[in-house]
Amino acid sequence: MDYSNVPTTVFTPLEYGCVGLSEEEAVALHGQEHVEVYHAYYKPLEFTVPDRDASQCYIKMVCLREPPQLVLGLHFLGPNAGEVTQGFALGIKCGASYAQVMQTVGIHPTCSEEVVKLHITKRSGLEPTVTGC
């Protein structure tokens, strides 16, 4: 049994799921200049209540910077994080690239579709909050 890239979830009121390397682990292993982090704050459909905002849910995809930009880790904070993380764990285990994940059609309206729309990098300094549908 290969225990690398085992997905895990913390079942708190706002779930957290992850698989693969953290940003810090990836930087320690590959160096800051070789790691690209895509991220977004998003507002899931379940948060139609006015007092819950987009800053509560967050996605981070850690990739190698050089082509083919292999996905090293995925971190997901939001509703159904366990199911979302489990689905993307197979891709990471099979060596999926950022481009392959982005070519995946997300199921609408689900939280997991936010993963396949990640396009803002931390390095860019752009505002990562998703607006609209």
User: What tokens were used for 7?
Assistant: 């997905």
Query: Rounded distance, CA 36 to CA 88, Å?
Result: 18
Query: Rounded distance, CA 21 to CA 71, Å?
Result: 9
Confirm if 37 and 122 have CB atoms less than 8 A apart.
yes
Query: Rounded distance, CA 43 to CA 53, Å?
Result: 6
Residues tagged active-site: 108
